[in-house]
Each structure stands twice: as structure tokens, then as C-alpha cells.
Amino acid sequence: MFSSQNPAGPIKPWTEDEVRRAIGKVKVGKATGLDGVKIETWKALGEHGMMWLTRFLNTATTERRSSDAWRGSTIVPILKQKGDAMECFNFWGIRLTAYTIKLYERVVVSRLRELVPILQEQFGFRPERSTTDAIFMARQFMEKHRKA
């Protein structure tokens, strides 16, 4: 039940299938975070490795523990394709985060998406939608009703 220790109530343990789906959604060939573990390592797990990773993520959840590498990230400046390299605003800041925490976040998000309904009116942070779509629709609506 609910308690001050666990205000959200009991959390059902993560399943191997949830972890496997989370791994499948992450792109390969990207730089690693502070833990140095590549996503290809997690993707290459066999059945025993998948059982271990699932148990590991469940332990992190129940014991509320995380690695320092999970909490930290590195920001790497990437020069845009234009402009002077001596000007700071000509760089993108790319944040490198550990893949282990990215997997954990994806497992949590997929569970939340099952539990929390997303309103039809929400455009940001939804698959197949963007805030640009909402702006376009609002503009179309205003133009239509301005003529009336």
C-alpha cells in the first residue's frame, strides 16, 4: 500500500520484455556516457544477461540506488556547420548520458504511458506530433475565424 516510504504505492517489477523493448528503441553507434558502457553491449546480451540486467534495474528501483555515473553527464561542444569556431554560439551542446540510465528511463516511461492518459490536445513530447503542428493548427483556426 501507500506509505511515506513509497508514496506511489507498490511498483510492479520490471519484466525482461520491458527491458528488451527499451533496448530495442535506443540507436546504436552513439557516444557513451560516464559509465563507458556502449548500447551495443546491452543489445548483445543473451538470455542470462537480459535476466541479470532486469534484476539489476529492479534492484535499483526497490533499493532506490543509482550510480554516480547515472547522475552525471558530460556536455560536448559540437561546431555547427556555419560560423566562426571562436564564437560560443556557433556550437551545439550535446549531453552524453550513461546508456544504463537511458534504458531505465525508457522502461519507466513506457510503464507511465500505459498508466497515465495523454490528452488528445497535447502535442509536445508525443510520437507523430510536435508543437509545430499545434502552432500550424492554431494559425489555421485564427485565419479561418478572422474572415468570418
Q: How far is CA 86 from CA 17, 76, 79, 90, in A?
A: 48, 16, 10, 8
What does the block give as the cell for 139? 494559425
What global pTM score does this model have? 0.65
Residue 148 structural domain: 119-148
Assess whether 101 and 67 both reside in one domain. Answer: yes
Assess whether 82 and 132 both reside in one domain. Answer: no
Assess whether 81 and 31 both reside in one domain. Answer: yes
* 85 in any annotated domain: yes
Q: CB neighbours (10 Å) of residue 119?
A: 7
3 state SS of 135: helix
99-115 and 47-63 are packed helices; what angle lies between their axes, rounded to 10 degrees? 70
pLDDT (tens digit, 9 = 90+) per residue, 86-113? 888 888 888 888 888 888 889 988 888 8
Q: Please tell me the predicted confidence (pLDDT) of residue 148.
A: 59
* 8 in any annotated domain: no
Assess whether 30 and 93 both reside in one domain. Answer: yes
* 1 in any annotated domain: no
Q: Please tell me the predicted confidence (pLDDT) of residue 17.
A: 94
* 5 in any annotated domain: no
Assess whether 94 and 134 both reside in one domain. Answer: no
Number of compact structural domains in the chain: 2
User: Residue 1: pLDDT above 70?
Assistant: no
Round to whole Å and give the CA distance between 81 and 67. 36
Residue pair 46/23 in contact (Cβ under 8 Å)? The answer is no
Assess whether 24 and 74 both reside in one domain. Answer: yes
Assess whether 31 and 83 both reside in one domain. Answer: yes
Assess whether 39 and 105 both reside in one domain. Answer: yes
Assess whether 32 and 78 both reside in one domain. Answer: yes
* 11 in any annotated domain: no
Assess whether 45 and 109 both reside in one domain. Answer: yes
Assess whether 48 and 90 both reside in one domain. Answer: yes
Round to whole Å and give the CA distance between 131 and 124. 5
99-115 and 16-25 are packed helices; what angle lies between their axes, rounded to 10 degrees? 110
- Which is nearest to 19 in space by CA: 46, 51, 44, 48? 51
User: Residue 6: pLDDT above 60?
Assistant: no
